[in-house]
Structure 1
Amino acid sequence: MENLKHSSGDISQCPFHGGNTTNETNNDWWPNSLNLDILHQHDTKVNPLGEEFNYHEALKSLNVQALKEDVTKLMTDSQDWWPADWGHYGGLMIRLSWHSAGSYRVSDGRGGGGTGNQRFAPLNSWPDNASLDKARRLLWPIKKKYGDKLSWADLIILAGTIAYESMGLKTYGFAFGRTDIWQPEKDTYWGNEKEWLAPSDERYNDVEDASTMENPLAAVQMGLIYVNPEGVNGKSDPAKTALHIRETFARMAMDDEETAALTAGGHTVGKAHGNGDASILGPEPEAAPIENQGFGWSNPTGTGVGRDTVTSGIEGAWTTEPTKWDNGFFDLLFGYEWELTKSPAGATQWAPINIKEEDKPVDVEDPSIRLNPMMTDADMAMKVDPIYREICEKFSKDHQYFSETFARAWFKLTHRDMGPKVRYYGPDVPSEDLIWQDPIPIGKKEYDVNLVKEKISNTDLTIAELVSTAWDSARTYRGSDMRGGANGARIRLAPQKDWAGNEPERLAKVLNVLTPIATEFGISIADTIVLAGNVGVEKAIKNAGFNTTVPFTTGRGDATDEMTDAASFEPLEPVADGYRNWLKQEYIVSPEEMMLDKTQLLGLTAPEMTILIGGMRVLGTNYGGTKHGVFTDNEGALTNDFFVNLTDMGNTWKSVGEGLYEIRDRKTDAFKWSATSVDLVFGSNSILRSYAEVFAQDDNKEKFVHAFVKAWAKVMNADRFDVK
């Protein structure tokens, strides 16, 4: 906008503030107000491809072979504006893929490469992702050529996989199917630090104990993918670094062997860049001037590229032949003693003692020059830590075993957040079912649903028992990595059957009734549990004076213990559920915020959350049968009473401590109902109250029933990728 001058000569301010003033948002003015932004992301309005676009349909016309050939050619098509090290972009593309996929954490399933989120802030400007802006621009001609048939998310991961293949690794496979997002993921919590690479102490109770890292984080510092390559807080100590590597990679769902394989395999090719002064680099992409057009970290030293490149500050290759898949990493790590030194940029790294000239890698520009290789603290950890050393020594003696182990670990790293195998597309999808894919057999599809429903309806199970069990089975779903959900009926297996939030005694009672019914009809328990929930909802609808059938799709299967990695399901255990008005214990985060987090993971909108909360309360599904928020005298009927009584001005509301409240008659002060903060936020938050008022209206009783059924079915079918 052009600045205008007043007659006095003063320059007027543009009436559009655009983020340049302080205290301009509601949350700046009222920081304690519940922020619903987490539920307002990835709206269809921000998607330039339109609501009707289906990426998995578009993939059917993708020429995969031609694409792979183009990506392979790119690896050795060096560009003057960003020349390839040794004429091969393999190392750069592997780092691009790795840093995209490596942001995944198993605790909440967020991060990872499944959405192409590396294109946006903050990831595109993390210090650990320096120069990856160039890698994405190198891929742009390929993305432009294949258009909507190829997502950025798929291309970014494919680039690293093809890079390994072009350098000699036989990869395990590759799957397309990742769908792009079109704006930053504000729902992902990356830490509270206010500066990049702030000391690790800020996210640990005790940095000496790696396990005390704040959940759900998986990286040791703000702006890093996993650990500081110079050591904990930049202080070299390979033994301590090993402990932090183990914790970090465990939070990325990797065991010790996978961790060692990925560390060694990631550093078998490519190099680190620190041949210059890191302090004079230009700002990151999000802070760079407009003429940079999305490029960041401009380097004024020499040519600024090639041997003058500065990225991490560490300088050098790990192996003698950095564009070849071999055992060179182990040959040098175990073949030489190493000493601490500094890179030209001042970073701490390790240098070999008395290395043979022929074991040195050549310069990236001039093959007549040989330079020292280097190792980071993370690499030295593989030699110092006794567990990692034993694994790496085994790898060093058996290159084939190392290659196969790495290929599988790389596939897991780059596909862990894609969800069930049914979402995989392409000719290179491995036929093997892997336990971390949470495999589920296909269930029976053709049977008389109404007969099963009648059988369930005639049992002594209550509406609350039927609905609660179905909800508990389905609520484990999280759209961040497409894990959990009702399909598989893992609620009957360890560890879920023993989770406190699932009320094990009540769960066992319900399963003892439903399992014989499933056996009688030859159908899955998973289908039976969901059908039972639907039966409960339909009974409640009739009790409210309406008659509506809840949609149901057959075909769920039953997972077995052998198909279930019990340990990997522990992070899915609920510690709070606003929908059933339950909190395992007191937490720093409010119950309302935890409700929003669960709602976002379930893929629900704010109106859908409101509808489900109001319905679940009057159905009597509270944990343990508590009456908090059950604002009705007709429990078990799907009425809009929750909203009617919440907004009734004949009431007063009084805090009675510990997050509990009483609702009393305004005239007589007689006690009417009890409530939690989760209940009352639907009356206090202006946005949520606007939704509550809609469903409290006299003309929206039936509208509420239909809206509840639609939202309920959405949760029950959230994990049904086989029918989507």
Structure 2
Amino acid sequence: MTWSNQEWWPDLLRLDVLDDNTADTNPYGEDFDYAEEFEKLDLEEVKSNIEDVMTDSQDWWPADYGHYGPFFIRMAWHSAGTYRTADGRAGAAGGLQRLPPESSWPDNVSLDKARRLLQPVKKKYGKKLSWGDLIVLAGNVALESMGFETYGFAGGREDAFNSNEAVEWGPETEWETTSPERFDDGEVGNLKDPLANTVMGLIYVNPEGPYGEPDVEGSAANIREEFDRMAMDDEETVALIAGGHTFGKVHGADDPEEHQGPEPEAAPIEQQGLGWDHDFDKAGMISSGIEGPWNATPTKWDARYLDNLLDYDWTSVKGPGGAWQWRPVGDDIGDAPGAQDSSETEQPMMLTTDVALKYDDDYREILERFQENPDEFQEAFSRAWYKLIHRDMGPPERFLGPEVPDETFVWQDPVPDAAYELVANEEIAELKETLLASDLSRSQLVKTAWASASTYRDSDKRGGANGAHLRLEPQRSWEVNEPEELETVLDTLEAIQEEFNDSRSDDVRVSLADLIVLGGNVAIEEAAADAGYDVEVPFEPGRTDATQAQTDVESFEVLEPKVDTFRNYLGDEYDDIYDYPEERMVDKAELLNLSVPEMTVLVGGMRALGATYQDTDRGIFTDQPGTLSNDFFVNLLDMDYEWEPVDENNEIFEVRDRDTGEVEWEATRLDLIFGSNARLRATADAYFADDAEEQFVEDFVDAWSKVMQLDRFDLE
């Protein structure tokens, strides 16, 4: 086996995660449009085909109770449930459950079979139906086939064809383990960002309880933190657990370690991607090691889960698979039929995570309310399930199909439609002149546009300039945005907007969202002109301004950057799993869908423009800040200088003249990494040469425009 560079040098900055932003791994080609193909489907026909599969039990993997519905619900839940708010990564988009590591997680035991069962449906519809959509749709069809009324379904998820290496799943090197490094204080409690699961290889928490012990109090605390990190409140949490556990059973007829084969990625080649092989005659069905259904009607929507949990006492026991589970005290609870033989019966059980809901005061209050009001339970689960399977899809305009509900939810970050005519070339030119004549500096205009647009994350399509959320809480008060200076900038821009709109006799208007971006663009054009280059930064009007009521403050808080390489901002506290600021730089660049060259040229350009946090001189390796020159790279790579750390964390450095010893500039790790890391230095080499400045200017404008347009789904 040949070792990778990362294995030879574990501390080497990983830049390969940005390569996926340039590589075309889609076999359908870079011009393929999933949304266009999805719109060609007859969704009712697709759902009918899925339902046919659901009740056609296969000998190679027989259905529990003759119905694959609960199996498909678990598949859909485990696909969507990986979503986490901290970085917006994972979730159902991409159909990532069919790729490692998710394809071989211990929590996804046997879900490889669920996807194979759906293979005929995928074959029939091909590229019109992505695996990302099919997996989730199968969960919806399963619920409906068992008597539940879902809130709707939206298609349009694209498929990934390689694993997302940018997702940090945790520090552990073994499945189903938990280490102190996963938590801020070294103990179970506050997970480090961006993690959202307490155990490596599990979707949420250990169903047996923390560290595999039946601790209901600890389990409830873990559940609350986990579901909060996937944007669910207490009511949504209870609805999802109770609703999901209304159906099906768990499988632990024997010890998985003794009778279960390796996961798909470790299985022999002849198994063709199927894993967890085991001998049915000897061990029965095995997945988690926990055995039993939650109620007597595992393929029917009802409230029996709530009745069983609340109306019976439960005691912890070791099940036949060797795992902790809970059995009812007494024998008067209604038994379920055998999963494979209806003439047999099986007593219901509960997980530690179920019983934890009963003994947490806030969760129990919700359980009792749902038990007393079944219609409220139905409504809460339908809404929470819809949110679960769609949370990573972004704004409402990306939701496709005839079953998309009319209602728009605040978690979709809605923005209003433009109820006016957009500015055209003549008005744009007039606004540019007004912006340049204002008291705002180029640095202020550039930083404001960047602060607005760079909140975007391609992981879940949230953030960006559209909506002008920068003028609203919480973004208006973020430290990285320098609230006092931002107030001044926004006051000036709002005055320009008001004067322009009031002066129009027609219906032409400009939004503040558009004006913020235009301000950054015109500042760059002037900076390029000072460097001797005539450029026009592309501008497409059409952004609108959201209201505070359309902005979920708590949900937007997670978009706040702890480090911003492009403005050379180093926050005081990180509380995450990254060791160095430059790792956060790469993480942010990946979320912005940037390549290594795009990230590099943006940093160099922002430094040349003097667009740094609090207007510090850190990284401003030029005597002419505000001019779009390649001086950052020229002086960073100049061997006439040497570098010396001046703080104990090795984050701040002085750049000294080798001959005189005089301090010429100050820098951070976020500057020096472009000279230290071999690949970044090789990229910087392309921009520091005497003949490189024009290329630098062109590349900066292209990368800048890309960031400004990332959230313009209305243009696609």
* TM-score (norm. length: structure 1): 0.94
How far did residue 445 of structure 1 move? 5.0
Between the aligned partners of 2:245 and 2:581, the Cα distance in structure 1 is: 44
Alignment of 1:563-574 (within 5 A): 563-574=550-561
Between the aligned partners of 1:660 and 1:528, the Cα distance in structure 2 is: 35
Q: In the alignment, is the contact (CA less than 8 A) between 1:200 and 1:232 conserved in 2?
A: no
How far did residue 38 of structure 1 move? 1.9
2:230 counterpart residue number: 252
The C-alpha deviation readout for 1:345-373, integer Å capped at 9, x for no partner, is: 1111111223337x211001221211101
* Cα distance change, pair 341–31 in 1 and its aligned pair in 2 (3 A): closer
Q: In the alignment, is the contact (CA less than 8 A) between 1:200 and 1:233 conserved in 2?
A: no
The C-alpha deviation readout for 1:150-186, integer Å capped at 9, x for no partner, is: 1111111111111001111110010001111111111
Q: In the alignment, is the contact (CA less than 8 A) between 2:172 and 2:179 conserved in 1?
A: no
1:400 aligns with 2:375: yes
The one-letter amino acid paired with 2:706 is: K
Instruction: Say which of 282, 305, 309 aligns to 1:333.
Output: 309
| Identical residues among aligned pairs (%) | 52
Q: Comparing 43-52 with 570-579, which one deviates more in the overlay? A: 43-52
Q: In the alignment, is the contact (CA less than 8 A) between 1:238 and 1:384 conserved in 2?
A: yes
DSSP 3-state at the match of 1:254: coil
Instruction: Say which of 677, 689, 701 aligns to 1:697.
Output: 689
The C-alpha deviation readout for 1:654-674, integer Å capped at 9, x for no partner, is: 333442223333444443322
Q: In the alignment, is the contact (CA less than 8 A) between 1:445 and 1:555 conserved in 2?
A: no
The one-letter amino acid paired with 2:401 is: G
* Cα distance change, pair 673–267 in 1 and its aligned pair in 2 (3 A): same
* Cα distance change, pair 618–705 in 1 and its aligned pair in 2 (3 A): same
How far did residue 330 of structure 1 move? 1.1
Alignment of 1:675-694 (within 5 A): 675-694=667-686
1:226 counterpart residue number: 204
2:506 counterpart residue number: none
How far did residue 95 of structure 1 move? 0.4
1:63 counterpart residue number: 42
The one-letter amino acid paired with 2:580 is: S
How far did residue 709 of structure 1 move? 0.8
Instruction: Say which of 593, 610, 626 aligns to 1:620.
Output: 610
* Cα distance change, pair 360–596 in 1 and its aligned pair in 2 (3 A): same
Runs of 4+ in 1 over 4 A off after TM superposition: 205-209
The one-letter amino acid paired with 1:262 is: L
DSSP 3-state at the match of 2:391: helix
Between the aligned partners of 2:402 and 2:282, the Cα distance in structure 1 is: 42
Q: In the alignment, is the contact (CA less than 8 A) between 2:465 and 2:513 conserved in 1?
A: yes
1:281 counterpart residue number: 260
Instruction: Say which of 624, 642, 645 aligns to 2:635.
Output: 645
1:602 counterpart residue number: 592
1:723 aligns with 2:715: yes
1:174 counterpart residue number: 153
How far did residue 43 of structure 1 move? 4.3
The one-letter amino acid paired with 1:406 is: F
1:584 aligns with 2:563: no
Q: Comparing 665-674 with 76-85, which one deviates more in the overlay? A: 665-674
Alignment of 1:305-324 (within 5 A): 308-324=284-300
How far did residue 341 of structure 1 move? 2.1
The one-letter amino acid paired with 2:299 is: T
2:519 counterpart residue number: 532
The one-letter amino acid paired with 1:556 is: R
2:321 counterpart residue number: 345
Q: In the alignment, is the contact (CA less than 8 A) between 2:102 and 2:108 conserved in 1?
A: yes
RMSD over aligned Cα atoms: 1.6
What residue ranges of structure 2 are gaps of 5+ in the alignment? 502-508
Q: In the alignment, is the contact (CA less than 8 A) between 2:21 and 2:595 conserved in 1?
A: no
The one-letter amino acid paired with 1:693 is: D
Paired residue total: 698
The C-alpha deviation readout for 1:564-619, integer Å capped at 9, x for no partner, is: 11011111111111111110126562111111111111111110001100100010
DSSP 3-state at the match of 2:299: coil
Q: Comparing 200-209 with 512-521, which one deviates more in the overlay? A: 200-209
1:12 counterpart residue number: none
DSSP 3-state at the match of 2:666: strand
1:593 counterpart residue number: 583
Between the aligned partners of 1:453 and 1:677, the Cα distance in structure 2 is: 35
Between the aligned partners of 2:490 and 2:183, the Cα distance in structure 1 is: 41
* Cα distance change, pair 32–238 in 1 and its aligned pair in 2 (3 A): closer
Q: In the alignment, is the contact (CA less than 8 A) between 2:422 and 2:510 conserved in 1?
A: no
1:292 aligns with 2:295: no
Between the aligned partners of 1:672 and 1:235, the Cα distance in structure 2 is: 59
1:377 aligns with 2:352: yes
DSSP 3-state at the match of 1:134: helix
* Cα distance change, pair 91–661 in 1 and its aligned pair in 2 (3 A): same
The C-alpha deviation readout for 1:119-166, integer Å capped at 9, x for no partner, is: 111111111100001011111111111001111111111111110011
How far did residue 205 of structure 1 move? 4.8
Between the aligned partners of 2:660 and 2:185, the Cα distance in structure 1 is: 54
Between the aligned partners of 2:484 and 2:184, the Cα distance in structure 1 is: 36
1:491 counterpart residue number: 470
Between the aligned partners of 2:431 and 2:56, the Cα distance in structure 1 is: 62
The one-letter amino acid paired with 1:407 is: S
1:451 counterpart residue number: 430
DSSP 3-state at the match of 2:488: helix
1:213 aligns with 2:191: yes
The one-letter amino acid paired with 1:368 is: S
How far did residue 335 of structure 1 move? 2.5
Q: Comparing 332-341 with 316-325, which one deviates more in the overlay? A: 332-341
Between the aligned partners of 2:635 and 2:281, the Cα distance in structure 1 is: 72
2:362 counterpart residue number: 387
Alignment of 1:117-156 (within 5 A): 117-156=96-135
Between the aligned partners of 1:446 and 1:41, the Cα distance in structure 2 is: 35
Q: Comparing 48-57 with 461-470, which one deviates more in the overlay? A: 48-57
1:547 aligns with 2:534: yes
How far did residue 207 of structure 1 move? 8.0
How far did residue 337 of structure 1 move? 1.9
Q: In the alignment, is the contact (CA less than 8 A) between 1:315 and 1:343 conserved in 2?
A: yes
* Cα distance change, pair 42–300 in 1 and its aligned pair in 2 (3 A): farther
* Cα distance change, pair 684–239 in 1 and its aligned pair in 2 (3 A): closer
DSSP 3-state at the match of 2:714: coil
